[in-house]
Structures are given as C-alpha cells and as structure tokens.
Amino acid sequence: MALARYLLRRLVLSVFVVLGVTMLVFTVAQVVPSDPAALYAGPRPTAALIAKARETLHLDAPLPERFLTFAHAMATADFGVSYKSRRAISQDLAVYLPATLELAIFSTGLALLIGIPSGVIAAARRGGLLDRLGGLSSIVAVAMPTFFLAMLLQGVFCQWLGLLPLSGRIGKEFSVIDPVPFVTGFMLIDTALAARFDAFRDAMAHLILPGLTLAAYPAGVAMRLTRSAMIEILERRHILAARALGLSEARILFGHALPNAVGPALTVIGLSFAYALTGAVLVEIVFAWPGLGRYVSEAILSKDFPVIAAAALVVTLCYVAMNLILDMVQALVDPRVALT
C-alpha cells in the first residue's frame, strides 16, 4: 500500500519533469541566436525562400500558440523533419534509439553485476589481497578516459587475442549477406525473434567491448560505494545476531547486509544510465556504434533544432523511466524508502 502510494508520487513527479524539459527545450530554441527559417531554407537561401520557410514552420505565430503546437507534436511523437537531412526524425530515432538503449541497458547491467558483488567481496575481505586489488582496479576504471579504455580493450581483445569484433553492432554476414529482419531495432531481440542464434551470438560479441567500456566508470564507483556501505552495515548488531544464529557467511553478506547497503550504488548506476544515452559519443565513435550520441552531436553542430528537441525529450523519457524502475527496486529492497 505504502509502496503503491510512493510509486504514484514518483510518477506524478516524473510527469512534471517531462513537462519541464519540454518547456526548457522550447525556450532554448527561442533564445539561441540562429534563424530556423534560414536553416530550413537550405544552404543558399534567398529572401523569398526564407519567407516561405517561415510560413511552413509557423514561425510568425504567437509564442504560446507555437509552444502548444510544439508540445502537441512532442506528445504525439510527431517530431517533424530534420532541417539538415529533411528525413523524418522519428525514422532516424527508430534506428538510433534502440542501438543506444541496447548498449546503455547492457552496460548498466554489467555495471551492476561487476560493481556490486565486487564491493561486497572487498568489504568481506577488508584489508586483504582481494580488497586491495579491487580498490586499485576501481580507481583505474574510474580514472581512465573512456575513449582510451575503449582503444585499450580493442587492442587487447581484437588485435591481440582476436576474441571479439572490433566495432559495429553485428557482423557483415548478418547485416548485408543474409540480413536479420528489423523489428525492434534491438539486435539481441531481433536476432532472437528470428531464431538466428549464430547472429545472436555475434550481436552479443559486438556488445561486450563497448558495454565494458561504458560500464567501467559506474562499476568502479558502485564498487567503492557498496564497499563502504557494506563495511558500515557489517558492524551492525543484526549482522552479529545473524552470525550468532549460525547463518552462512554468503547468506549474511548477500541476503542480509547487501539489501541494507545497495542504495547508494543503485543511485549512481541510475545516473550513469543517463550518461550512456547521449554522453557516450566518444565510445560510439571508437566502436562505430550507430547511436543517439553521434546523431545528436551532429545535430547540435548544425543547429538542427527539431532533432535536438526530439532527442532531448526521448532521452528524458528514458531517463525518467529508468529512475522510476530504480525507485521501485530500492523501495522493494528497503521498505523504509517508501515510508519517507
């Protein structure tokens, strides 16, 4: 009951976040010193062409009316066309968004799976060899620039060991020679739907290196946070009580202490998910990943406003959804969260 109320409250809050972002994106577009009509009119605009563009884009309508039109278009996922390429933005997003989401979700999962258990083990072996090794690797993971880590991983796993593909989302044999049909845009899902397990394995192999690269930072931070939270919790009386009741060390660490300690790590991983959506441009470039980051940075450089607006909104929605999920997980793990 308390949980449902808590989630409802978060949901209402999220609606305001989305509304606020919509308004912000619109406002920014108004104050940026650039004329959309001139951009829309093409590389060699004449006065007549600009005037025509102004009319097509309704730029002369009053501001509130234009905001409503804009908000309505966003709400109905009608993002318009790119000023630059004249392609429908929703068409572009259908390709780039799944690619980015697949990578972001995969790397977030990796960060959870690597960061949290290693933090638990480091806390359990405090001061021991594993703890020191973990501490060192977490510092390396956090401090190393992502593009450098990306190149390092490529060097080791492609060039040197030849275990994993260098870049791209899937090998040529599955994208050109015998293509897997496009359904959701998520390679793992599409290949699984087509029951092409060799293609699924190939798509997975392509995910590992960019996934690891993006996961390094959140995993390192999550490890440190989990470790320090665990060390504090392991001193608590209920852990002593659990030991006195004869529970196994593994159950005490993962079943009893971790649920008390996992909160901060989950928060950091949620934040890093937002970063993976658009901030991972360098990683996308190094791994030739056709993602949202590159799409948006190109749009920003050419002041392609409708693309920026659409991407900002979509990313906000993904981020809000991810945070709702994390809030729910936290409330399920720690019932006191829902009560405050």
Partner 1 sequence: MLEVRGLQVVINSDLQVVRKVDLSVPKGTIHGLIGESGCGKTMTGMAILGLLPKGAGLQAGTFTFEGTDLLSGAATLRGRRIALVSQDPAAALNPVLRVGRQMDDVLRTHSNVAKPARRAQAAALLAATGLPDPDRVLNAYPHQLSGGMQQRVVIAQALATGADFLIADEPTTALDVTVGAQVLALLRRLVAQRGLTILMITHDMDVVAEVCDRASVLYAGITVEEGPTEALLRAPRHPYTKALLAALPDARPKGQRLAALEGAIPPPRQIIQGCAFAPRCPMAMPVCATPPPRRTEGERFWLCHLEARDA
Does residue 260 bind partner 1 (CB under 8 A)?
yes
CA atoms in the 13 A half-sphere facing the CB of 58: 11
Which of 55, 156, 255, 300 is the binder for partner 1 (CB under 8 A)?
255
Alpha-carbon span 333 to 340, nearest angstrom? 14
* Both structure tokens of 185: 């845009």
Of 227 and 256, which CB lies nearer to partner 1 in the complex structure? 256
Residue 251 burial (CB count, 10 A): 11
* Contact of 22 with 77, CB cutoff 8 Å: no
Site stretch for partner 1 (CB under 8 A), options 17-25, 104-112, 203-211, 327-335 = 327-335
What is the closest distance, in whole angstroms, from the C-beta atom of residue 242 to partner 1 in the complex? 7
Of 66 and 243, which CB lies nearer to partner 1 in the complex structure? 243
Alpha-carbon span 214 to 153, nearest angstrom? 12
Total residues interacting with partner 1, rule: CB under 8 A: 21
Does residue 132 bind partner 1 (CB under 8 A)?
no
Does residue 245 bind partner 1 (CB under 8 A)?
yes
Distances (CA, A) of 192 to 150, 202, 270: 27, 12, 27
The letter for the amino acid at 18 is V
What is the closest distance, in whole angstroms, from the C-beta atom of residue 251 to partner 1 in the complex? 6
Of 73 and 247, which CB lies nearer to partner 1 in the complex structure? 247
Which of 129, 177, 195, 244 is the binder for partner 1 (CB under 8 A)?
244
Of 141 and 225, which CB lies nearer to partner 1 in the complex structure? 225
Of 3 and 282, which CB lies nearer to partner 1 in the complex structure? 3
In 3D, which of 148, 114, 104, 149 has the Cα closest to residue 134?
Answer: 114
Of 138 and 226, which CB lies nearer to partner 1 in the complex structure? 226
Query: In terms of DSSP H, where are the helices of the chain?
Result: 2-31, 36-40, 47-56, 63-75, 89-124, 129-143, 146-154, 172, 187-193, 197-234, 237-244, 249-250, 258-261, 263-278, 281-286, 292-301, 305-333
What is the closest distance, in whole angstroms, from the C-beta atom of residue 243 to partner 1 in the complex? 6
Does residue 264 bind partner 1 (CB under 8 A)?
no
Q: Mark 200-239 with x for binding to partner 1 (rule: CB under 8 A) and - for no binding.
A: ------------------------------------xxx-
Of 86 and 237, which CB lies nearer to partner 1 in the complex structure? 237
What is the closest distance, in whole angstroms, from the C-beta atom of residue 238 to partner 1 in the complex? 5
Which of 44, 86, 172, 336 is the binder for partner 1 (CB under 8 A)?
336
Alpha-carbon span 221 to 272, nearest angstrom? 10
In 3D, which of 1, 66, 53 has the Cα closest to residue 27?
Answer: 66
Point out which residues bind partner 1 (CB under 8 A).
Answer: 236-238, 240-248, 251, 255-256, 259-260, 333-336
